[in-house]
Amino acid sequence: MPKKKEKINLPKLIIITGLSGSGLSSATNAFEDLGYFCVDNLPISILPTFARLLLPNEEDAIAIEKAALVINIRERHFLAEFPGEMKKLRGKNLDPYIVFFEASDEVLHRRFSETRRPHPADKGKGLREAIIEERNEMEKVRQAADLIIDTSEHTVHTLRRLVVQKFSESEEGTPLTIQIVSFGHKYGVPREVDLLFDVRHLPNPYFDKKLKDFPGTEPKVIEFLEKHDEVHETIRRFVDLLEYLLPLYKREGKSYLTIGVGCTGGRHRSVMVANRIGEKLEADKYNVAVMHRDIIK
């Protein structure tokens, strides 16, 4: 498990700006996952009014703890008013942290060609000229940035990871929430399952008349299953696999993961195994919830 880093003072107000097609939307989603109140394409004239919500006084009923605002060339007064508005914010003891996103001309051209979206700076001279023109117009904003991120080599997932690493209080970023669902194959596989484990190969308490009517949470059923080495070995191998996979899922920005554990009827083996897996992952400090879908059927 990754170690938490020391708590740092994170920016209260982040201005997200940069070149069109450089990943502003993907970055905004990452900031939203980190708990920032995000606004896309905010008119710069409204910025001072919005900033009041970050500096509450006795008259303010609503306060925002931290915000990330996307302001770029689509807002027609942006280039002319940006320097002055930043100066006003600093005068109010609200120091905006400016993050500028960019990419190479070739990458931007490819991204716009693939999406077939019009470039906001295109004035009829073609995409390549629009990219060059916007880069030139945004140079002064780039020079004022606190952080410049080149997304040329990034995917959506790696860009999110980078934002989380830089603006999260811990290197883990947003927590990975895991739900483990036990179920019976005879009633169908849950549709939301990301990973599926089948335990129909394990000894079945259903065929023991003394255990048939008890669920997998019953001590007698648990004792029956724990007598078999293959039960312990199956759980161990499942947990080993998950301990390998979960950090990789988290690295790619997955916030929720559902693990299905199925047996025939969903009352005995899958229930016991799901509970054991949940206990192991909780011991690894994961946020885990276990649900038994078919335990009362």
At 5 the pLDDT is 43
- Based on the fold, state whether residues 183 and 274 are members of the same structural domain: yes
- Determine the structural domain holding residue 162 and report its residue range: 13-167
**Residues 110, 235: one domain?**
no
Task: Write the DSSP assignment of 184-213 as a string of letters.
Answer: EGGG---TT-SEEEE-TTS--GGGSTTTTT
**Number of neighbours of residue 257 by Cβ within 10 angstroms:** 20
Q: What is the CATH number of the domain that holds 112?
A: 3.40.50.300
pLDDT in tens, the chain (297 residues): 444 444 446 788 999 999 999 999 999 998 998 889 999 888 888 888 888 788 766 455 457 888 999 987 776 677 888 888 888 888 777 888 999 999 999 999 998 888 777 888 888 888 899 999 999 999 999 999 999 999 998 888 788 878 887 887 655 556 788 999 999 999 999 888 999 999 999 999 999 999 999 999 999 999 999 999 999 999 999 999 999 999 988 877 777 899 999 999 999 999 999 999 999 999 999 989 999 999 988
d(CA 231, CA 125): 68
Residue 135 domain flag: yes
Q: Within this chain, do residues 98 and 28 fall inside the same structural domain, yes or no? A: yes
Query: Could you tell me if 127 and 251 lie in one domain?
Result: no
What does the angle CA 128 – CA 131 – CA 132 come to, to the nearest 5 degrees? 90
Q: Is residue 172 part of a domain?
A: no
In terms of domains, do 89 and 143 share one?
yes
Report the C-alpha gap between 121 and 114 in whole angstroms: 17
**What are the tokens at 170?**
């811990």
SS3 162: helix
Shared domain for 72 and 201, answered yes or no, is no
- For residues 55 and 6, give the distance between their C-alpha atoms in angstroms, rounded to a whole number: 26
From 124, 145, 167, give the residue that closes a domain.
167
105 belongs to a structural domain = yes
Q: Report which DSSP code applies to 2.
A: P
Looking at the structure, tell me whether residues 182 and 122 fall in a common domain. no
Do 155 and 199 belong to one domain? no
Are residues 119 and 65 part of one domain? yes
CB 271 within 8 A of CB 216: yes
**Domain count for the chain:** 2
Can you tell me which residue has the tokens 């559902």? 258
Give, for 241, the enclosing helix (H) or strand (E). helix 229-251
Could you tell me if 20 and 127 lie in one domain?
A: yes
Say if residue 47 is in the same domain as residue 115: yes
Could you tell me if residue 297 is inside a domain? no
Residue 56 is classified by DSSP as -
> Within a domain: residue 109?
yes
Q: Which of 122, 137, 167 is the last residue of a domain?
A: 167
Backbone angles phi, psi at 288, to 5 degrees: -125, 140
Amino acid identity of residue 197, one-letter, is F
Burial of 224 (0-12, 13-18, 19+ CB in 10 A): buried
Take residue 286 and report the two structure tokens written for it.
Answer: 């994961």
227 falls within a domain: yes
In a domain, 4, yes or no: no
**Of the residues 128, 143, 167, the one at which a domain ends:** 167
Q: Which helix (H) or strand (E) holds 219?
A: helix 219-226
Answer yes or no: do 130 and 188 share one domain.
no
Task: Look at the chain and count its residues.
Answer: 297
Note whether residue 1 is domain-resident: no
**Which pTM was predicted?**
0.62
